[in-house]
Structure 1
Amino acid sequence: MKLIATIMVLATVWSCGSIAEEFHVSPQGDDANPGTLSRPFCSLARARDAVRGISRPLKADVTVTLHDGLYRLTEPVMFTAEDSGSAGHPVIYRAAPGAKPVLSGGRAVTGWQRHGQSERVVVWRAPAGKAVFRQVYIDGQRAIRARTPNRECDHTFGPYWPANAEQESTGGSWSLVVQAEHGKPLLGLARASEVEVVLLSHWYQQRLLVGRIVAAGDTVRIQPLHQEGKFNKQERFYRGSWFFLENALLFLDAPREWHHDAQEGYLYVGLPPGADPNALSITVPVVETLLAIRGTAERPVEHLTFEGLTFTDTTWTQPGLRGMNFTQFAQPIPVQGEENKMCPPGAICAEHARRLILRHNTIRHAGATGIQFVEDVDDADIEGNRIHDIAGNGMVIDCHALRNPPPEKQSVDVAIWNNEITRCGRDYTNGGGILANNVRRLIVEHNHIHDMPYSGMQIGNQPPKPAGADIGCGENRIRFNHVHHCVQLHDDGGGIYTLGGFQKGTVIERNHLHDIARGPWAGRNGITPIYLDNGTSGVLVQDNTAEAKERNGSAGNTLRNNRPDQPEIAAMAGLCPGYSPRVLGQ
């Protein structure tokens, strides 16, 4: 009788197709282990390889459970079409119940010795190698790259000094013209070419490497190196600009400032008297991307889920090589021959993927972008994540910004909901929460987006002439979002911002926007809570709790009932646990 029962159970298992596969990962594990709960792997890459070794098509769900602890990465964990799940049996990488696994692209800096002291700060140094990095974190908090004038405000990153830019002749070299007292720190400075002049002009940020310096009376003229791709506007655009100087040991004179001498291989940090860096966790990022999901147009990656994980400490060194010119949403102006280097990388990066789910993760301390969909990521969910303390943008959908992109280049049916996105643009200050270029059927609902030096989100990108031309961007749904305290530094932006083109079928409705106002360092260009810019047309904007305006040739949109005093709309906006835009009727 027992034998018959056993046979019946086995027959049932075989007929249903299977028993779920599960692997476990722990920092205390060993990649020589079988990946069981009692004998886990120690790396995500090893678990991926184990999943890859299961024969396809999958006959059961596959789950990889990551347990508590810090997983330090020295290169991206790559997922290709070989790692796909299926519609019936997805592959899920998730945190163990109650666990907080952290995937870090950083390394610890230790061996600190006292180097010097001033009235306000004790300077310490430690060997950190000659590989360049652009961020330092002290006990999990972003430190300030040594600069002058010293930063005093954590929202605008000010104060700044005034600057203008002048061109010697048509097609000639450009120079910054600054007051003598503000250019004085550069005069006689050894290795001045390592200093970055960080220039803010309306919605632009430029990072310029110092070249020739000429003092003349009450001004100093700074001629930046590597001017290709820089100063792409007329002189009047740069009148009334602001700047600061960054990256010299001479500037290190305040607590929590740092300087990396890449030639000598030392990191210097300033701490208050009495603080000991050997008792602190000091981390520098060394990896650009932690999770790389890379299919092809012919073989996309399919049915992967990443849930409950923390991704932290990534780098991006390109801006320091030849300087960089960023237009709105921290998009580099291309330099001929270097176009492929001009897409700021994501801590999570995906291209050519289907049914990718990023759920309940934390993305922080990214050196460029938090989540980056390069191109052709369809039917993806970005749900319930917290994205904060990001150098550039929180997330970017289709970073190439092609007009009328072909199907193999365009992302379709991406849903972004219930995410908190805050404190982006920490280094590249015209970054923002969400940049969605020329996408279709995008859903952005019930997100909380706040504390941005530039705009909360941008839909669409630069259109061709004439204004209102089709750019392949449309049928997008922007609803129930809570967006506030944006455009705190730059101008020509808004809480929700569209950049041109015929965006047929796009709806912006029932969003709660407030505290979108001109900051002390902004120019005179427009700032509006909902800003339809540069020939935007075909958009329905209704029932939002803030003003909406068409600017710069935008026309053919429908704007109605957009005003502050609508508490019922405000109450519905923002995070909404349990909500899903994938459920019919919501």
Structure 2
Amino acid sequence: MADVFVSPAGNDAWTGQSPSENGTKGPVATLHRAKEIIAAKLAAAGGRSRDWTVIFRGGAYRLADKEIFTLADSGGEGHVVTYASYPGESALISGGRVLKGFVVDRATGFWKLHIPDVQGGAWTFNEIWVNDARVGWPVRPVRGGDRFHVAAQVASSGSAARDAIRPPFSGAAREKLTRSTAKPPTNTDRFGFNAGEISAAWTNPAEIRIRVSHPSSSSSLIPVASIDMANHIVTMNSHTLNDTLPVGTPWRRENVYEDLGTNGQVGEMYLDRTTGVLTYVPRLGETPANSTVVAPVADQLILISNAAAYGGAGHPVGNIAFRNLTFAHTGSYSLARGYIGHFNNDQTDPYAAIATIGARGVTIDHATLRNLGEQGIIFGPGSSGNAATNNELYDLGSGGIGAADDYQYSWPNVYSGPYASGVPLVGTSNTTISNNSVHDYGKVFTCSTGIYLGQGANNAISHNDVYHGPSWGIRVQNQYVSNSISVDPKTHDNYIGYNHVYEMGWDGGRGAALASDYGGVYLNLRGSNTTVEFNRIHDIHTLYPVVYGGALQAYGGDNSALYIDGDSAYVAVRNNLLYDAENALLVLKGSGHVIRNNIFYGKFRKGVPFGIGGGKARPIFTYPFGDGNLTPASITPAMDFQNNIVAFDDDSTDAWSVNAWFWNHGSPNVGLSQKPIVADKNLYFKYRSAITNYAPDLTFAEWRRAGYDVNSKINADPLFINPAAGDFSLRPDSPALELGFVPFDLSAVGRSKSVASKL
């Protein structure tokens, strides 16, 4: 059944040959020893001409640091080394240490534990897990509710002091700025606060963190540098914010000792690194006797790498599988390094519980990844032909699953120099990410993505459930490509199909913006032949204020169920259901897109402003095509938009347009007569009142006279069965059917409900 057995009751001096024999023939106790035994077998004559299996009996296996797999641990061509749980049992690979010896403070009920390694500077952590439930710093105001708001805008300090203060502005002035070469002031690192919101008298003020909203999907969690109580000004230890902090900008404070347990909050911790004392506010019913408390020691659990630092010989590593295992309890590499400013964890300092460099044939299957400080899985630089299938990932500090060569540009200590891939970077290709559930992620880094792809070809993201994320659900973006090319030859034929993505902008238990400028499915890639089909994407929201161009917007902007951003070209979008978002579809620049036979539905609140132009939400939002040298106007048509249903509802009776932004708005050189798009045989309908305009500055009559939507139906009810319940099936007499719309079946969307265990 197995070549090596591992058991919590084992002994690394034993052979690992059998779980039942006595003496020296019995299971080993650790993953490391099992890996050593397999490496010896692989090195023997004929060792790489067969498969090998390591079986873990149920229980916990704790790592003090990551386990590194190299060429010596890799299976032979056409063969695989499998690490798996014993059938019917569950093995846990944990990067955490169990904490014992808590004393209950009788006055407060808080638990306290002195940890000498913390006081001595040998260990630190930023979260713990109590009975497998995450416990983090106190956050005020609590997530899920309102935030503090900047009380006064003040000049930056130090090197940022040259930045001018601009008064808030809106409307046409904001539009003019965003379409010009003018740049708003940047690097503001301090702001005015109201009395009681922060205090220099609190414990360890340098350990207090400020989380500030950004105009894009970026995280900030910045230490306090100083607090001027006389003038009510807080200065942060970072000049990396990408915008000013005008009056009204939302912010929260984190890691304040004095906040512990206030307003009835429980499940919070504070680690005093000076005294080494950990304080925990228990949840109802928890006692030190009935609780298991785990603190992270390792930031990573598994690294499969051919880097020179690990003895790489220029050959790919891999042919390794992990099945039916649970991986948990990692710390945050990024938080341990210090402060975070304008931060995108998918492409800046990405760190994961399981990561590959220069790997082929790595499979993570039927695994659970939970209680992690950062990402779950990264197929990193030089890695291709790998798979993440049938897994569940949740309670993640940042994102879920990523595959990208782009990581090589992110953090030199992780993916460059001696830690770089030992094979050429040709794009992270032929990756399968299928039948996974990724949810409740971005617990620390709110810019995180459920599933992320970078530069590469022939990757497939299919049949996944992605939900309860703070920003992106699925994102495909190749950031580091020369601006001199229009289409990246390494990025092509990627597939996104049959995924269920919902409730993005999730904040502590309800939909509320933690980011702006993001999408349920987001594409920004200079590749070709990307297919997006048979996806159900819904409940994508931004509800909190954000700053854009030095001005405060009440509700954020540029969020959408499907967002095709500026560098994209040749995207095929068909048979998707997108609904209940400020925009169902957002196409920002780009060329060569074919968008056919989709349902775009929105239900909006009265008076909710949207977008950088200050307009209202619409079911679709299209912006100039053929913009710049990345997606040239010579690609025609820029967009083929046919046989779609565009319907929306709101609680007003205003006559709305269907497009939030006229597709050639602000581009006088692209006129209606040039016909850079094809639009026809679509159905447009608004509940409660009639549609009069195609876009805010264009009537439907003008649109049709220019040759667009000539055969489309306007103000025709599509006759959905029950859109309020998410049933967008069409009645047999739907006018959309007369236009050639073909109903599509979404019953197979998302993760299979019967994921069987496989070894």
TM-score (norm 2): 0.66
1:116 deviation in Å? 5.6
- The answer as to 2:9 corresponding to 1:28 is yes
Aligned residues: 534
The answer as to whether partners of 2:6 and 2:28 remain within 8 angstroms in 1 is yes
1:537 deviation in Å? 1.4
Equivalent position amino acid for 2:566 in 1: N
**Alpha-carbon separation, structure 1, partners of 2:106 and 2:163:** 47
1:327 deviation in Å? 4.1
**Alpha-carbon separation, structure 1, partners of 2:367 and 2:495:** 23
1:225 deviation in Å? 1.8
**Alpha-carbon separation, structure 1, partners of 2:107 and 2:590:** 57
**Alpha-carbon separation, structure 2, partners of 1:408 and 1:330:** 18
Match of 2:322 among 306, 311, 329: 306
2:257 corresponds to = 249
Q: 1:383 to 1:429 in 2, by over 3 A?
A: same
The answer as to whether partners of 2:426 and 2:490 remain within 8 angstroms in 1 is no
**Alpha-carbon separation, structure 2, partners of 1:244 and 1:47:** 46
Equivalent position amino acid for 1:144 in 2: G
- The answer as to 2:139 corresponding to 1:147 is yes
1:170 deviation in Å? 2.7
The answer as to whether partners of 1:330 and 1:429 remain within 8 angstroms in 2 is no
Match of 1:510 among 531, 534, 540: 534
**Alpha-carbon separation, structure 1, partners of 2:434 and 2:328:** 21
Q: 1:468 to 1:40 in 2, by over 3 A?
A: same
User: Equivalent residue of 2:447, what SS?
Assistant: coil
Equivalent position amino acid for 2:14 in 1: N
Q: 1:559 to 1:53 in 2, by over 3 A?
A: same
1:569 deviation in Å? 3.2
1:358 deviation in Å? 0.9
- The answer as to 2:437 corresponding to 1:420 is yes
The answer as to whether partners of 1:544 and 1:563 remain within 8 angstroms in 2 is yes
**Alpha-carbon separation, structure 1, partners of 2:443 and 2:369:** 14
**Alpha-carbon separation, structure 1, partners of 2:398 and 2:7:** 31
Q: Which has the higher mean CA deviation after the structures are superposed, 505-514 or 311-320?
A: 311-320
Q: 1:441 to 1:430 in 2, by over 3 A?
A: same
2:96 corresponds to = 106
Deviations 1:296-333 (A, max 9, x none): 4712213111100000000124335431124455543x
1:186 corresponds to = 199
- The answer as to 2:311 corresponding to 1:322 is no
1:17 corresponds to = none
**Alpha-carbon separation, structure 1, partners of 2:427 and 2:469:** 27
1:268 deviation in Å? 0.2
Q: 1:240 to 1:352 in 2, by over 3 A?
A: farther
Equivalent position amino acid for 2:226 in 1: R
Q: 1:467 to 1:78 in 2, by over 3 A?
A: closer
User: Equivalent residue of 1:53, what SS?
Assistant: helix
The answer as to whether partners of 2:2 and 2:55 remain within 8 angstroms in 1 is no
1:555 corresponds to = 591
- The answer as to 2:50 corresponding to 1:50 is no
**Alpha-carbon separation, structure 1, partners of 2:755 and 2:257:** 50
CA RMSD of aligned residues (A): 2.7
Match of 2:353 among 343, 347, 356: 347
Q: 1:416 to 1:326 in 2, by over 3 A?
A: farther
1:465 deviation in Å? 4.4
Q: Which has the higher mean CA deviation after the structures are superposed, 93-102 or 310-319?
A: 310-319
The answer as to whether partners of 1:329 and 1:435 remain within 8 angstroms in 2 is no
1:244 deviation in Å? 1.2
**Alpha-carbon separation, structure 1, partners of 2:299 and 2:156:** 35
Q: 1:322 to 1:140 in 2, by over 3 A?
A: closer
The answer as to whether partners of 2:149 and 2:247 remain within 8 angstroms in 1 is no
The answer as to whether partners of 2:469 and 2:505 remain within 8 angstroms in 1 is yes
**Alpha-carbon separation, structure 1, partners of 2:285 and 2:277:** 22
- Segments of structure 2 that go 5 or more residues without pairing to the other structure are 21-25, 165-186, 307-311, 410-420, 507-512, 547-554, 601-727, 730-742
Deviations 1:198-256 (A, max 9, x none): 11223222111111222456xx22111243xx12x2427x6653211111321212211
Deviations 1:336-356 (A, max 9, x none): xxxxxxx23111111111111
- The answer as to 2:426 corresponding to 1:437 is no
1:274 deviation in Å? 6.5
User: Equivalent residue of 2:34, what SS?
Assistant: helix
**Alpha-carbon separation, structure 1, partners of 2:474 and 2:196:** 35
Q: 1:240 to 1:370 in 2, by over 3 A?
A: farther
Deviations 1:247-281 (A, max 9, x none): 13212122111000112111100125764223311
Q: 1:316 to 1:272 in 2, by over 3 A?
A: closer
Q: What's the % identity of the aligned pairs?
A: 23
1:336 corresponds to = none
1:270 corresponds to = 281
Q: 1:258 to 1:506 in 2, by over 3 A?
A: same
Match of 1:528 among 555, 560, 566: 560
**Alpha-carbon separation, structure 2, partners of 1:325 and 1:246:** 15
The answer as to whether partners of 1:468 and 1:554 remain within 8 angstroms in 2 is no
**Alpha-carbon separation, structure 2, partners of 1:497 and 1:434:** 10
Deviations 1:502-549 (A, max 9, x none): 220111111111222333456422111110012321211111011653
- Segments of structure 1 that go 5 or more residues without pairing to the other structure are 1-19, 333-342, 581-586
**Alpha-carbon separation, structure 1, partners of 2:218 and 2:318:** 37
The answer as to whether partners of 1:93 and 1:306 remain within 8 angstroms in 2 is yes
The answer as to whether partners of 2:112 and 2:278 remain within 8 angstroms in 1 is yes
Match of 2:495 among 477, 484, 487: 477
Equivalent position amino acid for 2:244 in 1: E
**Alpha-carbon separation, structure 2, partners of 1:552 and 1:182:** 42
1:124 corresponds to = 111
TM-score (norm 1): 0.85
User: Equivalent residue of 1:358, what SS?
Assistant: strand
**Alpha-carbon separation, structure 1, partners of 2:405 and 2:526:** 19
The answer as to whether partners of 2:126 and 2:331 remain within 8 angstroms in 1 is yes
1:171 deviation in Å? 5.7
- The answer as to 2:373 corresponding to 1:367 is yes
1:572 deviation in Å? 2.1
Deviations 1:344-398 (A, max 9, x none): 3111111111111111000011111100122111111111011111000101212
Deviations 1:63-82 (A, max 9, x none): 11111111111111111011
1:84 corresponds to = 74
Deviations 1:396-433 (A, max 9, x none): 21263579x99436311001101111111011112120
1:114 deviation in Å? 2.3
User: Equivalent residue of 2:195, what SS?
Assistant: helix
User: Equivalent residue of 2:539, what SS?
Assistant: strand
